[in-house]
């Protein structure tokens, strides 16, 4: 694991990223479960949101960090020790993707327990939405999963139908953002997402997720 040391008037500050930390795309990060020793590093990311893929309650010390930095928590409880039903897994990944591709939630951190399987499935399905070839999607998944790679995860990613998400995106318009940019924005005018369980959602936050004319972006 890498450490970043910054000097300031009070002395050196050691910034420790969570294990399996990596940038997925600009404004999207992934990692294992952050511990208090990782909070100083997370602060440098200026996060707006965290997508948490475990069913267990979020620890109070982590919630306090989120509250103190105005970070929203979106929880999608996917079982890790036992294989979840295919229907519940699809629903969770679909819901998490809708939060993930909304640029108003960026910068966003995705994490589960180890940052391998559940996080890998979500990132893998995002890559399919970005039209990555399947071999590259699998290679990225296996890079983070290592020897713990699960064939069931790979089958899920392979068979995940992105149409189930894109069907919600009516009246899609692709707009390039700036010269030479690889970002595209998807606009849709139909309310089709449900509010996930999340921490301290205010009226404006709920409108961001459920409101009409929401703006989504994909990095392709």
Q: Which domains does the chain have, with CATH numbers?
A: 22-166 (3.90.190.10)
pLDDT (mean) for 1-12 = 57
Output b/e per residue, 141-169; b: 16+ Cβ within 10 A: bbebbeeebeeebbebbeebeeeebeeeb
**Residue 216 pLDDT:** 39
Using only C-alpha atoms, what is the Rg of the chain? Answer: 17
Summary mean pLDDT of the chain:
75
Could you give the residue numbers annotated as active site? 112
Q: Which residues contact 39 (CB under 8 A, 6 or more apart)?
A: 65
pLDDT (mean) for 97-113 = 91
pTM of the model as a whole: 0.73
Q: What is the pLDDT of residues 143-152, one digit of tens each?
A: 998 887 788 8
Phi, psi of 195, deg, nearest 5: -70, 120
Tell me which of 44 and 166 has the higher pLDDT: 44
């Amino acid at each position: 694991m890498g450490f970043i040391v910054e000097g300031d008037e009070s002395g050196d500050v050691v910034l420790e990223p969570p294990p399996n930390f990596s940038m997925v795309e600009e404004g999207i990060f992934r990692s294992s479960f952050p511990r208090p020793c990782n909070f100083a590093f997370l602060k440098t990311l200026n996060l707006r949101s965290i997508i948490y893929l475990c069913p267990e309650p979020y620890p109070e010390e982590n919630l306090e960090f989120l509250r103190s930095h105005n970070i929203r928590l979106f929880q999608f409880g996917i079982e890790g020790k036992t294989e979840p039903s295919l229907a519940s897994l699809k629903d969770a990944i679909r819901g998490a993707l809708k939060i993930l591709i909304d640029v108003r939630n960026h910068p966003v951190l995705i994490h589960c327990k180890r940052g391998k399987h559940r996080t890998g499935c979500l990132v893998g399905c995002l890559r399919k939405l970005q039209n990555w070839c399947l071999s590259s999607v699998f290679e990225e998944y296996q890079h983070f999963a290592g020897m713990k790679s699960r064939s069931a995860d790979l089958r899920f990613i392979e068979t995940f139908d992105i149409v189930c998400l894109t069907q919600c995106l009516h009246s899609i318009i692709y707009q390039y953002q700036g010269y030479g940019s690889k970002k595209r924005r998807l606009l849709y005018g139909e309310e089709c997402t449900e509010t996930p369980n999340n921490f301290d959602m205010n009226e404006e936050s709920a409108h961001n997720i459920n409101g009409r004319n929401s703006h989504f972006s994909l990095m392709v």
